[in-house]
């Protein structure tokens, strides 16, 4: 079976990446190759990393409340590089009211606290399976 490659990135200024690491580890245990880029990434860094790494999907972890600006910028940057077909997922503390807006910006799925990691893996697998 083809390996699934995923970039897990933390855009913006929040300095807490336990959630991102838990998800990275869980995806690894499902057989994914997870590229983790660390804290404080700009949307430009995330998009170019995704393209250079040839990933099937991008997962953004945001706890700072700045998802409304950062997430659309990551998607814009991916499109600018010709990689608008790479599905983008968001995880973190996202108020329910903001989710429709993120979906409209092109986010495939939003995972809020308490989502089982197996569900995250299943959702990503389903999204990239048809590629």
Partner 1 sequence: MSHYNPLIERALEGNMLALGRLARIIDDGEDGAGEIIRSIYRRAGRAHVVGITGPPGAGKSTLVNGLVRRCRKEGRKVAVLAVDPTSPYSGGAVLGDRIRMQEHATDPGVFIRSLATRGHMGGLSRSAMPLTILLDAVGHDLIFLETVGVGQEEVEVKDLAHTKVFVTVPGLGDGIQAMKAGVLEIADILLVNKADLPRADLTVRDLETMVKMAEGDRGWTPPVLTSVASEDVGLAEVMSSLTDHYRFLLDSDFLHAWSLSTAEAAVREAMRGAAEAGIMDLLERERAAFAEDVGKVSLREEDPITVARRWLAKLGLRDD
Binding site for partner 1 (CB under 8 A): 2-3, 5, 24-25, 27-38, 41-42, 44-45, 48-49, 51-54, 81-83
Which of 126, 66, 92 shows the shortest CA–CA distance to 8?
92
DSSP state of 96: G
Over its C-alpha atoms, the chain yields an Rg (Å, rounded) of 13
* Closer Cβ to partner 1, 100 or 129, answer by number: 129
Instruction: Report yes or no: 104 and 7 within 8 Å, Cβ to Cβ.
Output: no
Q: Minimum Å distance from CB 110 to partner 1?
A: 23
Instruction: Write down the least CB distance from residue 89 to partner 1, Å.
Output: 17
To the nearest whole angstrom, how small is the minimum distance from the Cβ of residue 108 to partner 1?
A: 20
The tokens describing 43, both together, are 């949307």
β-bridge partners, 11: 41
| Least separation in angstroms between CB 101 and partner 1 | 27
Considering the complex, state which of residue 56 and residue 102 has its C-beta at the smaller distance from partner 1. Answer: 56
Give me the phi and psi of 29, to 5 degrees please.
Answer: -70, -15
Give 43 or 92: the residue with its C-beta nearer to partner 1: 43
Task: CB nearer to partner 1: give 39 or 99.
Answer: 39
């Amino acid at each position: 079976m083809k390996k699934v490659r995923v970039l897990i990135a933390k855009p913006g200024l929040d300095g807490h990446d336990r959630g991102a690491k838990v998800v990275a580890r869980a995806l690894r245990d499902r057989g994914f190759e997870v590229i983790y880029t660390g804290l404080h990434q700009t949307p430009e860094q995330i998009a170019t990393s995704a393209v250079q790494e040839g990933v099937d999907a991008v997962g953004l972890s945001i706890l700072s409340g700045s998802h409304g600006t950062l997430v659309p910028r990551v998607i814009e940057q991916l499109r600018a590089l010709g990689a608008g077909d790479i599905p983008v997922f968001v995880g973190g503390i996202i108020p329910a009211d903001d989710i429709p807006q993120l979906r409209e910006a092109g986010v495939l799925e939003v995972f809020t606290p308490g989502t089982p990691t197996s569900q995250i893996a299943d959702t990503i697998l389903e999204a990239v399976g048809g590629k």
